[in-house]
Amino acid sequence: MSRKPWADKGSRHKRGYGAAWDRIRLQALRRDCYLCQPCMRAGRITEARAVDHITPKAQGGSDDLANLQSICDECHKDKTARDEGWKRPPTIGVDGWPT
Ligand SMILES: [Zn+2]
Protein backbone atom coordinates (compact mmCIF):
# COMPACT_ATOMS: atom_id res chain seq x y z
CA MET A 1 0.00 0.00 0.00
CA SER A 2 1.48 3.33 -0.98
CA ARG A 3 1.25 6.07 1.60
CA LYS A 4 1.48 9.78 1.09
CA PRO A 5 3.82 11.66 3.43
CA TRP A 6 0.90 13.54 4.99
CA ALA A 7 -1.30 10.45 5.37
CA ASP A 8 -0.31 9.86 9.01
CA LYS A 9 -1.67 13.18 10.20
CA GLY A 10 -4.90 12.71 8.27
CA SER A 11 -5.53 9.22 9.59
CA ARG A 12 -4.91 10.40 13.13
CA HIS A 13 -7.53 13.09 12.72
CA LYS A 14 -9.99 10.61 11.27
CA ARG A 15 -9.78 8.66 14.52
CA GLY A 16 -11.48 11.51 16.35
CA TYR A 17 -8.61 13.82 17.21
CA GLY A 18 -9.37 16.95 15.25
CA ALA A 19 -8.05 20.48 15.07
CA ALA A 20 -9.87 21.42 18.28
CA TRP A 21 -8.01 18.70 20.13
CA ASP A 22 -4.68 19.87 18.67
CA ARG A 23 -5.44 23.34 20.04
CA ILE A 24 -6.41 22.29 23.55
CA ARG A 25 -3.53 19.82 23.66
CA LEU A 26 -1.13 22.68 22.97
CA GLN A 27 -2.82 24.78 25.66
CA ALA A 28 -2.32 21.99 28.19
CA LEU A 29 1.34 21.59 27.26
CA ARG A 30 1.94 25.34 27.55
CA ARG A 31 0.10 25.53 30.88
CA ASP A 32 2.32 22.74 32.22
CA CYS A 33 5.50 24.30 30.71
CA TYR A 34 5.94 21.11 28.63
CA LEU A 35 6.79 19.17 31.80
CA CYS A 36 5.41 15.75 32.63
CA GLN A 37 2.98 16.22 35.52
CA PRO A 38 3.14 12.68 37.01
CA CYS A 39 6.96 12.94 36.93
CA MET A 40 6.82 16.36 38.56
CA ARG A 41 4.63 14.99 41.37
CA ALA A 42 7.28 12.30 41.85
CA GLY A 43 9.99 14.98 42.01
CA ARG A 44 11.36 14.41 38.51
CA ILE A 45 11.69 16.95 35.71
CA THR A 46 10.82 15.26 32.42
CA GLU A 47 9.82 16.79 29.11
CA ALA A 48 6.21 16.01 28.26
CA ARG A 49 5.50 15.00 24.70
CA ALA A 50 1.86 14.03 25.00
CA VAL A 51 -1.29 15.16 26.76
CA ASP A 52 -3.26 12.74 28.88
CA HIS A 53 -6.88 12.66 30.01
CA ILE A 54 -6.78 12.53 33.83
CA THR A 55 -10.20 10.85 33.79
CA PRO A 56 -10.13 8.69 30.65
CA LYS A 57 -12.66 9.54 27.97
CA ALA A 58 -13.89 5.95 28.17
CA GLN A 59 -14.88 6.72 31.77
CA GLY A 60 -16.65 9.96 30.95
CA GLY A 61 -13.66 12.32 31.10
CA SER A 62 -13.90 15.47 29.00
CA ASP A 63 -11.48 17.29 26.72
CA ASP A 64 -11.59 20.19 29.19
CA LEU A 65 -8.22 21.67 30.15
CA ALA A 66 -9.00 20.77 33.77
CA ASN A 67 -9.08 17.09 32.77
CA LEU A 68 -5.80 17.22 30.86
CA GLN A 69 -2.21 16.89 31.98
CA SER A 70 1.05 16.93 30.09
CA ILE A 71 2.75 13.58 30.25
CA CYS A 72 5.95 11.91 29.04
CA ASP A 73 6.06 8.76 26.96
CA GLU A 74 6.92 6.50 29.90
CA CYS A 75 4.16 7.79 32.20
CA HIS A 76 1.70 7.75 29.31
CA LYS A 77 2.44 4.09 28.65
CA ASP A 78 2.07 3.26 32.34
CA LYS A 79 -1.15 5.19 32.74
CA THR A 80 -2.75 3.91 29.56
CA ALA A 81 -1.99 0.36 30.65
CA ARG A 82 -3.68 1.05 34.00
CA ASP A 83 -6.64 2.97 32.56
CA GLU A 84 -7.33 0.25 30.06
CA GLY A 85 -6.37 -2.66 32.26
CA TRP A 86 -9.76 -4.19 31.67
CA LYS A 87 -8.90 -4.74 28.03
CA ARG A 88 -5.82 -5.32 25.94
CA PRO A 89 -3.61 -2.20 26.20
CA PRO A 90 -3.24 -0.39 22.88
CA THR A 91 0.10 0.10 21.24
CA ILE A 92 1.32 3.67 21.60
CA GLY A 93 3.35 5.05 18.72
CA VAL A 94 6.52 7.12 19.12
CA ASP A 95 4.41 10.27 18.83
CA GLY A 96 2.31 9.24 21.81
CA TRP A 97 -0.78 8.33 19.83
CA PRO A 98 -2.35 4.89 19.80
CA THR A 99 -1.37 3.12 16.61
ZN1 LIG B 1 6.57 11.19 33.23
Task: Tell me how far CA of residue 91 lies from CA of 1, 95, 98, in angstroms.
Answer: 21, 11, 6
Q: Using the predicted structure, report yes or no on whether residue 62 has a pLDDT greater than 80.
A: yes
Mean pLDDT of 24-30: 97
pLDDT at 94: 72
Query: Near ion ligand 1, which residues have CB within 5 Å?
Result: 36, 38-39, 46, 72, 75
Q: Residue 77 Cα, ligand 1 centroid: separation in angstroms?
A: 9
Half-sphere exposure of 80 (CA within 13 A, CB side): 19
Q: Residue 75 Cα, ligand 1 centroid: separation in angstroms?
A: 4
pLDDT at 17: 74
pLDDT > 70 in the chain, percent: 76
pTM above 0.85, yes or no: no
